[in-house]
Amino acid sequence: MLRNWLRVMMAAGMLALACAPALAQPRQPAPQMQRQQPQLQQQVAPGQCTLPDRVAVTGFSVNPPQPTQGQTVTVTLTIQNVCNGPLASVPWTIEVGTGTGPNQVLGSGVQQNVLAGASFSVTANWTAVPGQRGFLGTADRDNALRESVQHRQNNYKDFPLNVPQMSADTAAPAGSTPQVEVRSLEHMKAKSAGANFTNTSPQPTPCGINNFGGQNPQANISSADTVRILVDCQGSVFGGRGDFDLYSNFRLKNGWKIVRVDPINIQQRGGPTDWRYDSTLPGAGSDNPYMRFHLWAEHGALMGVEIKVTIQGPTGTDPYQ
């Protein structure tokens, strides 16, 4: 009997253990997220430059601004430390170029120990030769100061220049400075000297196509200094095209040369328009101002432009005769 009772009690105990809630196992700690620790900024000595914008070109000049062939030209570059602390060194470069091929470095160097807010100026010389040139002054050309692109927009300035070709009979004596003047080419005087202004537009055309410097030079002239060409399709149900030859059969006289050609007072209204010129406009140093323009205007639109030619030559001489 005792043995049977023990068996019953043991069975009951085992059943009780099976029905009892399991003992809690020790909980493993939850995995911790690896947080990115903020990077400590590099310690900067008091007074050291810490701004992203560090240098700026604040001045760039060419003297004389309109030199003649053979003159010595002085180029001056001014750079400022725009940071909040001193800069140990600031590189600088002065160059001249033609727009094709590498630039010619006229001068370069490194300015040492530039205090915050301080400026310095450097110069370089160039002997003027005929043709169109562009001067470029740069602070820290190779970005040794590690400025971002957006903070390098103030690191350079440029200066365009045109030097006319002087003929042998108008060249100044050695050691003297030739006297020159700059003026606008006047289309009426050029026309009197043989220049042609022709409208070669396709015919017939439903639009008003005017060459105010040529076919009727007395009409609608806003300025003696410009030639105005126009395609006016504002009152037409069709579009039109204008082709214009300007200053053909004419060359400047007595050593006068072209400095630049500027399309100005461009008018585009009422609808789609477009314009272009053949090849390139007359180059600096040339005595031939001939150019060919094409204008387009859709129906209801107008396209107009004025062309101004700047010339340079010996004082007291006539560019037309």
Measured CA distances, 80 to 53, 84, 139, 167, 303 (Å)? 11, 12, 9, 42, 45
- Residue 171 in any domain: the answer is no
- In this structure, the answer to whether residues 189 and 154 fall within a common structural domain is no
- Residue 79 in any domain: the answer is yes
Whether omega before 64 lies within 30 degrees of 0, making that bond cis, reads yes
Q: Confirm if 154 and 53 have CB atoms less than 8 A apart.
A: yes
22 CB-contact burial (10 Å; exposed 0-12 / middle 13-18 / buried 19+): exposed
- In this structure, the answer to whether residues 108 and 195 fall within a common structural domain is no
Most confident of 137-146, 167-176, 191-200, 275-284: 137-146
- So what's the pLDDT on residue 131? 84
Q: Which domain holds residue 254?
A: 181-314
Q: Confirm if 284 and 264 have CB atoms less than 8 A apart.
A: no
- So what's the pLDDT on residue 178? 56
Mean pLDDT of 4-31: 44
- Residue 217 in any domain: the answer is yes
- Residue 291 in any domain: the answer is yes
Higher pLDDT among residues 132 and 10, named by residue: 132
Q: Confirm if 277 and 292 have CB atoms less than 8 A apart.
A: yes
- In this structure, the answer to whether residues 185 and 310 fall within a common structural domain is yes
**Range with the poorest average pLDDT among 153-162, 197-206, 216-225, 239-248:** 216-225
Work out the mean pLDDT of the chain and round it to a whole number.
75
Most confident of 28-42, 128-142, 168-182: 128-142
Last residue of some domain: 117, 137, 163?
163
pLDDT of residue 205 exceeding 90: no
Beta strand extents in the chain (DSSP E only): 55-63, 72-81, 87-97, 104-114, 119-127, 131-139, 156-163, 180-184, 196-199, 208-211, 226-232, 240-248, 257-269, 273-277, 291-297, 302-314
Cα end-to-end distance, the chain, whole Å: 151
pLDDT of residue 77 exceeding 60: yes
Query: pTM of this prediction?
Result: 0.46
Q: Confirm if 166 and 313 have CB atoms less than 8 A apart.
A: no
- In this structure, the answer to whether residues 147 and 269 fall within a common structural domain is no
Mean pLDDT of 17-35: 41
- In this structure, the answer to whether residues 189 and 301 fall within a common structural domain is yes
- So what's the pLDDT on residue 279? 56
Percent of the chain with pLDDT over 90: 19
What is the Cα–Cα distance from 207 to 312, expressed in whole angstroms?
37
- So what's the pLDDT on residue 24? 44
- Residue 19 in any domain: the answer is no
Higher pLDDT among residues 38 and 145, named by residue: 145
- In this structure, the answer to whether residues 196 and 296 fall within a common structural domain is yes
**Range with the poorest average pLDDT among 66-75, 132-141, 272-281, 305-314:** 272-281
Mean pLDDT of 234-241: 83
- In this structure, the answer to whether residues 122 and 59 fall within a common structural domain is yes
**Range with the poorest average pLDDT among 53-57, 159-163, 200-204, 265-269:** 200-204
User: Which position has the token pair 């914008």?
Assistant: 53
Q: What's the pLDDT band for 166 if we cut at 50, 70, 90?
A: low
Instruction: Find the length of the chain.
Output: 321
- In this structure, the answer to whether residues 99 and 211 fall within a common structural domain is no
Mean pLDDT of 257-263: 80
Last residue of some domain: 110, 134, 163?
163
Q: For the chain, how many structural domains are there in total?
A: 2
- In this structure, the answer to whether residues 139 and 194 fall within a common structural domain is no
- Residue 2 in any domain: the answer is no
- Residue 320 in any domain: the answer is no
- Residue 50 in any domain: the answer is no
Q: What's the pLDDT band for 176 if we cut at 50, 70, 90?
A: low
User: Which domain CATH number covers 135?
Assistant: 2.60.40.10
